[in-house]
Amino acid sequence: MTAAGVVQARLGAIAAFFIKRLIAGTMAAMAAMLIAQSAAAQDVRAAIQKANIYIEVAKMTERAVDSWDRYASWVNLKTGPTGKERYISYGMYPIYDISGLLQEARRVTGLKPATPKLDAAIKRYMDAYEAAVPVLNRANDYYDRKGYRTDGMAEGRALHGQMVPLANAFLAEREAMLRDLRPFVREVEQQEVGAIEAREGRSRAWQAAHVMHAANRVVDTFPRIRPTPMSADMIDEKMRAIGPTTPGAKLDEIISGVVPPQGVVIDMKRFDAAMKAYAEAVETFDRFAAEKPDGLKDFKDMPRRLLNGLRALQEPLARNQGRDFGGSGPLVGQVVQTYFSMQSASREVSQSQVRHLE
């Protein structure tokens, strides 16, 4: 071999060596990236699982709220039952056994992602629920069998004295739990949106999940104070006052059977910021929908329709600095109706795994 041939062979060997090193390095980097992506995906799945269990707890325990509201609709909570109440036959609702779900939720409180404040709130809430339910169910059985007809309401009065503090504690813990659960669910939604983008880019599923998450952020600024159930006597009084000039809002209130919260103020700074983010999400979605409408079905026009309704609501709220949310009843009703329709339609498009928290 000539000297030139030897040099060329050596250069070839060196080049081959570096190419192998480059390929090996690239493969190692790709492997590390895939491992990181897999770990991130597992983290998102764990967060979704935790969020969904907690959401299920919130939903399935609401039956106790309904049972208590049913009781409060016919009895004077301050003085207790007498047996002479006009609507005593309303009684209460039976509360079903969900001990398996609560056991699973307690297990999940110790799992990642760590959410110490929320985990503690969920535990306190479940404790309050489990303390109240046996007494509520005893009362339901008592009124269902009309035990007050034979004991002069003796057991009913005793049960009332037990139920009031237990129900009040349960409802207070529920509100506290929901205040912590809602932000966590929104964080998990955001993680899911990011996971969809990492997996498939800004696809149809990403567009739906992204705009729905932004809508949820807006609706989260709406008042969450529980309305007070009207007593039967209060409903009768309002019914007697109905006349030709009675406004529709008053009629709606009677039909709903609850007294809306008074003095509720929306945080307009938070509302406006959420609206800005939602409007941007709708613009992104509309551009995508114009280019690729296939598969969007009924969902296609809903984000823009909700945005228009929210902007109409934003105007009176801005004028009164968020102090008259209840006074915007018809607008609120339209927005809420559109929002729930959009929430339902989005599921098929986004394939979101995160359950809806009302």
Which residue from 45, 166, 6 is spatially nearest to 95, judged by alpha carbons?
166
Contact 80, 161 (CB under 8 A): yes
- Read off the pLDDT of residues 319-342 as tens digits, 9 standing for 90 and up: 888 876 666 667 888 899 999 999
Q: How far from chain centre, in Å, is Cα 236?
A: 34
Beta bridge partners of 258: 229
Structure tokens at 318: 């801005």
Report pLDDT for 10.
Answer: 66
Mean per-residue pLDDT for 186-195?
97
Interatomic CA distance for residues 80 and 169, integer angstroms: 18
Q: What is the CA radius of gyration of the chain?
A: 29
Q: Which of 95, 75, 58, 125 is nearest to 229 (CA)?
A: 75
Backbone phi, psi, residue 99, to 5°: -60, -35
Return d(Cα 287, Cα 252) in angstroms, integer.
39
Tell me the average pLDDT of the chain.
87
Q: Which residue has the tokens 């009768």?
A: 236
Structure-model confidence comparison of residues 31 and 71, the more confident one: 71
CA 73 → CA 92, 231, 266, 341, distances in Å?
Answer: 10, 4, 28, 30
Q: Looking up tokens 């990642």, which residue turns up?
A: 112
Task: Quote the CA–CA distance of 112 and 126 in Å, as a whole number.
Answer: 20
Asked if residue 54 lies in contact with residue 105, where contact means CB atoms within 8 angstroms, the answer is yes
Query: What 8-state DSSP symbol labels residue 314?
Result: H
pLDDT digits (tens, 9 = 90+) for 212-245: 999 999 999 998 765 555 556 666 677 777 877 7
Query: How confident is the model at residue 257, as a pLDDT?
Result: 55
> Predicted confidence band at 254 (pLDDT cuts at 50, 70, 90)?
low
Across 173-250, where does the E strand assignment appear?
228-229
Q: Choose the weakest-confidence range: 19-33, 150-164, 175-189.
A: 19-33
Q: Taking a C-beta distance cutoff of 8 angstroms, is the pair 108, 52 a contact?
A: no
Report the C-alpha gap between 195 and 117 in whole angstroms.
25
pLDDT for position 333 = 82
* Chain Cα centroid distance, residue 186: 9
pLDDT of residue 332: 82
pLDDT reported for residue 32: 42
Average pLDDT over residues 5-12: 59
- The string of DSSP codes covering 264-279 is ----HHHHHHHHHHHH
pTM over 0.85: no
pLDDT in tens, 269-316: 999 999 999 999 999 999 999 999 999 999 999 999 999 999 999 998
